[in-house]
Structure formats: structure tokens, C-alpha cells
Amino acid sequence: MSSPATSSDREKVVSKLPGWLRQNLKVRAAQHGVDIQDAVQQGIADWCRLASGPEIIDTSGADPFSTFLPEGQWDQFRSVAADRGVSLIQGLAQSVQVWLDTNPATDVPRPGITRRIIMCNQKGGVGKTTVTEGVSEALAEDPDQLYPVGVPHQLTKLLHDGGPIDEDHPQQVEHEPGGGLRVLMVDFDPQCHLTNQLGVEKLPLEGDSLTKHLAGEPKGDLKDLIVSIEDDHYQGRLHLLPGCIDGFLLDVRLSTVRAREAALDRALAPLENDYDIIVVDCPPSLGLTMDAAIHYARRRDGESPGRSGVVIVVQAEDSSADAYDLLTDQIESLRTDLALTIDYLGIVVNLYDGRRGYIATSSLEGWVAVGDPRVIGLIPDLKEQREAVRANRTLLSYAPKCQQSVSMRAIAREIS
């Protein structure tokens, strides 16, 4: 049946669709950037023009489905369905399938140059590891499923409008396909927080490690150390290069290495062809280790701006601002001394809790006021991340709809 719509040129149509077909329609429409009602409209038009009806579709268990169609299209559809001797539900299902067949799933675009992102801050405890994990998971999620994503720039809009940030109020979300990228997380911190957080064993001190490859003393192939994060959401696309505590000695060992700033480039180069993006969880350091990470994130010849670079993770408190100044001074020194182009991808304000009062709220406003780099994400201080670690689960699979997961996906979209 149909009923008048608010628009003068469309009418509301109510019918039924099987749940699986409705889900396929939602995902495919999102992949193509098409409104669902436009997809259904095109599918019905194409179905009506067919010389004969397509294959019968199993519509058992169909649920109510409504959309808006141009005036007169539903009447034409009913007439064609009657001529073909099929029910309206069957005809609608066939129409949707016609549109799906005409608009196949889009391929995930692969970068010509493997992208490199470093998560960094000289200050420890700001949550670099948490952001590394969450953003990497979002980049690797299933491209044939829809996930809740925070609306971009919502934080900035709220601050510019003068409204308060209410972390207890669910942020506005859109549902978008997963990133579908092949992602390698690199635990570059000798404290091995990322490795531990994902429930993976640290590399043994006497064995091979990233540190040994950086120092020019490898004991094997770095690929052999990589661990796949097994979860249906990632389908083999999310991997980890685990950490080893021998990283505590890395600054000393790098001091004797030729072209030490490029040590991480040399170590990770053999892995790059297997991944679309490599995300490095950096240690809280201003030493040679950090120099190597910053150099790795530089813009390479032929690479577009903003594809690789630095994400700075901070908290809404004063000590993060001091550490930020030290880190950006180091980045600027490398830019000048080595003539590098290093892109700032943005600032992430982590573990935000407005209940801490003026220090938190004023610091948040201060980060937004930086402007360049801009704030690309606000992650609330909630329990789900800690629960996921305790359960040895990834955050986005443990609590896919929590505000932290929604925020991680928003950051991933900002940098992808």
C-alpha cells in the first residue's frame, strides 16, 4: 500500500523484505553513496523494463519495509507484478536484487604507496596504545558490514557553537561499511602495552625482534614474527608485530647504526607490500627511537599529502600540553635538519571526562584552538576499553556500539 509523503513528488510505500536482502541493500547503498530510496526506485524501474520476471527469491520471514517513491511508480509496479503473477513482496524483492546485481560491491581502494601512521606523544599514559588499537581495528573492519561511526567534526562544531561537551550524551552516528584495509600494528614501545592488550605473547629476549632488525642484527625474517588478530570482523586483515623488552636498549644500539634515522624504514620495508597501512605505537620518548619513527612517517616521493604522518594523542590536562611542545619541537627539527616533509594528521584527545571540571573543559578548548594540527577525535573515559583488555578482546568486537568504538571509527575515517 502507499500513503502521501511530505514531499509533493513522492509517496510513502509500505511492503515487506527479507532481513538478509534489506541488509545487503543497506550495505551496498552505503558503499556506493546512494540513498536507499533512490536504489529501490532504480531497481523497480529496471525490474519493470525487464522482458520477463527474474528468478524467484525466498521471501519467507519478510519484515515490514517502507520507502518513498515517485508518484505513480508504485501503481505501475503493481500492474507489472499482476501481469507476471507475482506478489508485491516478491516483485519488490526481485527489484532490490536487480539493483544489487547492477551495482556490485565496490572494491576497497588500495594505496599505491603503503601508508604509515605513527601514534605518538612524549608523555606516557595518554592512551597511544588504545588509539593505535582502536583505529587499526576500524580500518580493518568488514567492508560488507555496517558499523556506527561518529559524525565528523561534531566536536569542533559543538565548541564553535559555544555548547558544552556532554560525554554522557550519545554522539550522533552514521552507519558506514568497515574500512576493509590490510593493517599491520607495530608495537614499537619496549613496555609492550599493545602486545599485552591484545593478549599476545611478548617476543622472547633471546629471540628475533624488531629491535634486532633496527640494530642490523636480525636473527630471521621479520614476517615470521607477525601475529594475525583472529576475529570475524577483520577476516585476516588485522596483524600485529609484537613487542619485545629489548627495545629499552634501542637508543643506545641505534647510536652506532649508519643512517640511524632511516632504521625503521629499512626494517619494515620488506613488510610493506603485504599491507595497505602500517600503524606504529610509539614509545614515550624523545630519543633516537622517536627520530626513527618520525622519519618513517615522512611523506615519500609521489605520495599525496595527508596519507602518511603523525597522530598526536593527548589528554585534556596541562602536562599533555608541555609534552606536545617537546614533541613538535623534535618533529620540526627533523623537518629542518633532514629536509623532510612530515604531515600532522591530527590531534586525538583521549580519556576525556568533563566531570573533572574546568581543567578538562578548558584544556579541550585549548586543543581545538590549536587549529593546525586540528582535533580529529574525542574519546571518552569509559569502562569498555578496560573490560575488553581484561577479556583479551579487541575493543571494536567486544563493544562495537559503545561511544569509544564509535569515536575510533570516526578517527579512522578522518585519516583514511
CA distance 405 to 395: 7
Task: Report which secondary-structure segment, H or E, holds 11.
Answer: strand 10-17
**Residue 352's pLDDT is what?**
79
Q: Which residues contact 194 (CB under 8 A, 6 or more apart)?
A: 129, 132, 133, 185, 187, 240, 243, 281
φ, ψ of residue 270 in degrees (nearest 5): -65, -15
**Residue 173's pLDDT is what?**
84
pTM for the full predicted model: 0.85
Q: Which residues contact 18 (CB under 8 A, 6 or more apart)?
A: 57, 58, 59, 60, 61, 62, 63, 93
Cell numbers for 208: 628475533
**Residue 307's pLDDT is what?**
95
Q: Which residues contact 394 (CB under 8 A, 6 or more apart)?
A: 133, 137, 198, 229, 231, 233, 238, 388
User: Pseudo-torsion of CA 180, 182, 186, 187, nearest 10°?
Assistant: 50
**Residue 3's pLDDT is what?**
46
**Residue 383's pLDDT is what?**
87
Helices (H), 219-357: 250-254, 263-268, 288-296, 318-338
Residue 97's CB is within 10 A of a number of other CB atoms, namely 18
CA distance 295 to 329: 14
**Residue 4's pLDDT is what?**
45
Find out whether 182 and 274 touch, Cβ atoms under 8 Å.
yes
At residue 3, the 3 state secondary structure works out as: strand
Residue 214's CB is within 10 A of a number of other CB atoms, namely 24
**Residue 233's pLDDT is what?**
84
**Residue 157's pLDDT is what?**
54
Residue numbers in the chain where pLDDT is lower than 50 = 1-6, 161-165, 167
**Residue 162's pLDDT is what?**
44
**Residue 369's pLDDT is what?**
83
Q: Which candidate, 262, 360, 349, places its Cα nearest to that of 312?
A: 349
Task: Report which secondary-structure segment, H or E, holds 63.
Answer: strand 63-70
Helices (H), 225-339: 250-254, 263-268, 288-296, 318-338
**Residue 5's pLDDT is what?**
45
CA distance 146 to 406: 12
**Residue 1's pLDDT is what?**
42
- pLDDT one-digit tens code per residue, 106-141: 888 888 999 999 999 887 778 899 999 999 999 999
The one-letter code for the residue type at 169 is H
CA distance 31 to 410: 16
**Residue 156's pLDDT is what?**
54
In the 3-class helix/strand/coil scheme, how is 148-177 assigned residue by residue? EEECCCHHHHHHHCCCCCCCCCCCCEEEEE
Query: Domains plus CATH for the chain?
Result: 2-102 (1.10.1220), 115-415 (3.40.50.300)
**Residue 265's pLDDT is what?**
95
Cell numbers for 77: 509496479
